[in-house]
Amino acid sequence: MAEIRLEFPGSLIFGNKEILRLGSEASSWGERVLLISDSVHKTTGTLEYVKDILEKKHLKVLVYSDVKSSASTFSIEEAVSIAERSHSQVIVGLGGVRTLSFAKAVAFVAAGEGNIDDFFTDRVSRRKILPLITVPTSLRDPFLLSESCFMTESRHRTSAVAHLPPFSTKQIIVDPTLTVTLPPRYTLLALMEILLSSVEAFISRQSSFLVETAALDAIGKVASILDRISGNPGDLNLRKIACEASVSSAMALSMTGPLPGLMLAYVTGSYYKVPRVSLVTTLYPHVFDSSFYAQSDKAGMAARALKEGLEWSSLGERDSVSTIVRSMIARYKLPARLEEMKIKSDELSICSDITSSLLSRGGQSAGADSLFEILREAY
């Protein structure tokens, strides 16, 4: 069993309409706020709604809503310049994984103790950071409960998991009402990522009894609502269960650190500029069949947990995790091959090399050849 290291960021606030507490929380750290958001929230009205909550507490709010398709170093430098010129005292991140990663980088660099290269290469120990509050809106975020984020370096199209100093994130506000604008298709893909990354955490060598507990909670919750949530996108009870699963999954992943399957999907998505949430379901059947997990003694336990949660009569007693995942892909008509996403195979080895290096820096051994074989099988 892996050594247990449990170290979360600042306090977590969870519940419907808890976003209304954002103004009070932010005001305890300063009066000038830089609100960093996905551009999509301008059209849904969420950005203006959150900005209004902050301004009602007499906070001076400046908005940066031009986060690109990946949290790239070029656009981070632009946002840092705005934060510095406006003398921002608090950073609020509102959005999905890329936006919250983006906000973490801005909070570090804008404090004036380093630059984007320091952050990207993980030279951030004993650095100052502007107080940071994160507000996730996309259900899944594997880095939600860790001071880590996934970064894309613009010039060389490479990726890294960067780490903030401990306790940099002051507040995390998870409000299920902020997720109801997510399209049904995206919601389904996000839930699949939560479920599959939780299975990987459960069967990984980095697992522990705390990881198992959190991962099984996420697996059970997601499996129980998959068939219902697509047809009931506005059901707040289902959204609440989904957000609970997201937090449990993030808790498990905060203790395992980066894992081969999830990181391979994130690196490949960033390199080819394909939505990472779409790549997860494509890769994971091959991840579970790979040398990383094929001999895991807990794979059978994970398969049983999936079958119990899904309650599908079509699933047999001997179905493996990968077989169940393939059944889910077929049932929900999800992407099954990398070729469908117009990914060219001639550069896949670059993605496996980047992922292997990234995992190695995180203290895990994952050969580039084994990672490339997963990509080749999924193509």
Structure tokens at 287: 């991840």
Decide if pLDDT at 35 tops 80.
yes
Ordered DSSP codes for 45-60:
SHHHHHHHHHHTTT-E
pLDDT in tens, 117-146: 777 776 666 567 899 999 999 999 999 999
User: Structural domain boundaries of the chain?
Assistant: 11-178, 183-378
| Count of C-beta atoms within a 10 Å radius of residue 62 | 16
How far is residue 79's CA from residue 34's CA, in Å, rounded to a whole number? 9
> Do 227 and 332 meet the contact criterion of CB atoms below 8 Å apart?
no
pLDDT of residue 113: 64
Q: Give dist(CA 200, CA 107) in Å, integer.
A: 31
Distance CA 135, CA 126 (A): 25
Quick one: average pLDDT of 334-361?
91
Is residue 21 over pLDDT 80?
Answer: yes
User: How far, in Å, CA of 349 to CA of 371, rounded?
Assistant: 9
CATH superfamily of this structure's domain 183-378? Dehydroquinate synthase-like - alpha domain (1.20.1090.10)
CA distances from 79 to 76, 93, 235 (A): 5, 12, 35
Report how many helices (DSSP H) and strands (DSSP E) the chain contains, helices first. Answer: 15, 8
CATH for 11-178 is 3.40.50.1970
Confidence of residue 232 (pLDDT cuts 50, 70, 90): confident
pLDDT of 74 > 80? The answer is no
In this predicted structure, the answer to whether residue 357 has a pLDDT above a threshold of 60 is yes
Q: Examine the pLDDT at 70 and tell me if it is beyond 60.
A: no
**How far is Cα 249 from Cα 198, in angstroms, rounded to an integer?**
6
* pLDDT at residue 284 is higher than 90: yes
